[in-house]
């Protein structure tokens, strides 16, 4: 899969101007560098990733003035009865994010990927909770993820994650740039409700998913390391 195929399509249709397209192409190696870094630091292959040519905005409900920017999302996909996890990276992140921010977000989504695989291996995806509040969603997110220290053997990467995700991701400079140079220029936007940003798979779909036993064993090891770190934090 060409990670830039949707961006190239939007550009060819005139939806993305040349200047923005060229900027994203120029900065895309930061994404590749981040993925390679995460794979080296974790020993696990990064899932398929692609650049979404739009600014993804979330709101608790359609009538709310409260919103958040989702610079990346972890999406489960069933295609021809085959399960695949895809990381959706928003174009504004590539265009305007600092290197450390980009790598931190890619690593954060990688933790979501591991959590998703863990839940699938335990058949624990049918009643995933839904939160309609941005703060509650951040809290839930932080309490479910694997501990970064249990997954990544890279001090600089861990520092980026700790700095950018103390309690949910916030980068006001990046958000301001995304609104000023993307949203206010009437470039493509995608609006989603938080209660649609959840995973729902049928029992039939779950039964068809095959995960390598060695990967499940690796996930279990990382979960045990994460639990030990959690306990140290508590006591």
Distance CA 120, CA 216 (A): 10
pLDDT over 70 (residue 21): yes
Looking at the chain, list the stretches that DSSP marks H as alpha helix, in order from N- to C-terminal side.
5-12, 18-27, 29-42, 91-96, 99-121, 134-144, 148-151, 155-164, 172-181, 203-207, 213-234
More confident residue, 46 or 132: 46
User: What's the chain's average pLDDT?
Assistant: 83
Query: What is the predicted pLDDT for the residue at 143?
Result: 54
pTM for the whole structure: 0.86
* CA-atom Rg of the chain in angstroms: 18
Number of neighbouring beta carbons within 10 Å of residue 81: 9
pLDDT at 166 over 70: no
Residue 77's H or E segment, with its range, is: strand 72-79
Residue 228 predicted with pLDDT over 80: yes
Reported as type and span, the H/E element at residue 28 is none
Query: Is residue 47 a contact partner of residue 85, using CB atoms and an 8 Å limit?
Result: yes
Mean pLDDT to the nearest integer, 17-26: 98
Q: Tell me if 125 sits within 8 A of 78, measured CB to CB.
A: no
Averaged pLDDT for residues 171-188 = 93
Q: Is 23 helix (H, G, I), strand (E, B) or coil?
A: helix
86 lies in which domain range? Answer: 5-234
CA distance 52 to 54: 6
pLDDT at position 211 is 84
Mean local confidence (pLDDT), 138-152: 73
The answer to whether residue 66 scores a pLDDT higher than 60 is no
Long-range contact pairs involving 142-146 (C-beta distance under 8 Å, separation at least 24): 142/167, 142/168, 144/115, 145/108, 145/111, 145/112, 145/115, 146/111, 146/114, 146/115, 146/222, 146/223, 146/226
Say if residues 167 and 142 touch (Cβ distance below 8 Å).
yes
3-state secondary structure of 227: helix
What is the tens place of the pLDDT at every residue in 91-143? 999 999 999 999 999 999 999 999 888 888 876 654 444 444 444 444 455 55
Residue 29 has pLDDT above 90, yes or no: yes
- Residue 142 tokens, joined: 């932080």
Q: Which carries the bigger pLDDT value, residue 79 or residue 77? A: 77
Query: pLDDT at position 195, please?
Result: 58
- Regarding predicted confidence, which is higher, 188 or 74? 188
**pLDDT above 90: residue 23:** yes
The burial of 196, by beta-carbon neighbours within 10 Å (0-12 exposed, 13-18 middle, 19 or more buried), is given as exposed
Q: Give how many domains the chain has, as a whole number.
A: 1
pLDDT of the residue at 104: 93
> Residue length, the chain?
235
d(CA 66, CA 75): 23
Please give the structure tokens belonging to residue 14: 């005139």
CA distance 121 to 100: 32
């Amino acid at each position: 899969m060409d990670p830039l195929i949707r961006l190239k399509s939007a550009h060819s249709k005139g939806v993305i101007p040349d200047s923005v397209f060229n900027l994203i192409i120029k900065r895309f190696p930061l994404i590749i560098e981040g993925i390679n870094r995460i794979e080296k630091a974790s020993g696990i292959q990064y899932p398929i990733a692609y650049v979404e040519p739009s600014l993804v905005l979330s709101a608790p409900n359609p009538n709310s003035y409260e919103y958040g920017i989702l610079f990346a999302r972890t999406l489960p996909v069933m295609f021809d009865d085959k399960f695949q996890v895809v990381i959706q990276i928003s174009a504004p992140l590539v265009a305007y994010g600092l290197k450390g921010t980009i790598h931190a977000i890619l690593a954060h989504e990688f933790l979501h990927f591991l959590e998703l695989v863990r839940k699938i291996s335990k058949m624990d995806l049918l009643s995933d909770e839904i939160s309609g509040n941005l703060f509650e969603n951040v809290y839930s997110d932080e309490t479910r993820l694997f501990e970064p220290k249990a997954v990544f053997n890279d001090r600089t990467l861990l520092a980026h994650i700790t700095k950018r995700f103390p309690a949910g991701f916030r980068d006001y400079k990046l958000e301001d740039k995304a609104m000023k140079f993307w949203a206010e220029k009437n470039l493509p936007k995608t609006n989603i409700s938080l209660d649609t940003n959840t995973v729902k798979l049928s029992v039939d779909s779950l039964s068809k998913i095959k995960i390598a036993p060695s990967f499940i064993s690796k996930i279990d090891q990382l979960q045990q390391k994460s639990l030990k770190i959690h306990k140290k934090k508590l006591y």
